[in-house]
């Protein structure tokens, strides 16, 4: 992924890490993504973005 943007700045989690976790673990919820990647466990402002990534992958 050429443009691997940071999704969760609090925990330093990149988009590729979230996508890999969703695909490898068949994740369906933001909570599941947070448990594995720690994204969304800081200030929470990235939660809507995590949900969009989940929706796109699981559509």
Query: Looking at residue 1, what is its pLDDT?
Result: 47
Structural domain includes residue 31: yes
Angstrom distance (rounded) from CA 26 to CA 39: 16
Number of domains observed in the structure of the chain: 1
Mean pLDDT per 10-residue segment, the chain (59 residues): 86 98 98 98 98 97
Structural domain includes residue 34: yes
Q: Per the structure block, which two tokens stand in for 50?
A: 């995590």
Length of the chain: 59
Structural domain includes residue 2: no
CB 30 within 8 A of CB 36: no
Instruction: Quote the pTM value.
Output: 0.92
Structural domain includes residue 1: no
Q: Residue 29 is part of which domain span? A: 7-57
Structural domain includes residue 12: yes
Query: Looking at residue 3, what is its pLDDT?
Result: 77
CATH of the domain at 36: 1.10.10.1100
């Amino acid at each position: 992924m050429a443009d691997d943007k940071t999704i969760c700045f609090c925990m330093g989690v990149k988009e590729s890490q979230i996508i890999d976790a969703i695909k490898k673990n068949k994740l369906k919820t933001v909570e599941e993504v947070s448990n594995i990647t720690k994204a969304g466990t800081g200030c929470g402002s990235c939660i809507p973005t995590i949900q969009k990534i989940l929706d796109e992958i699981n559509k």
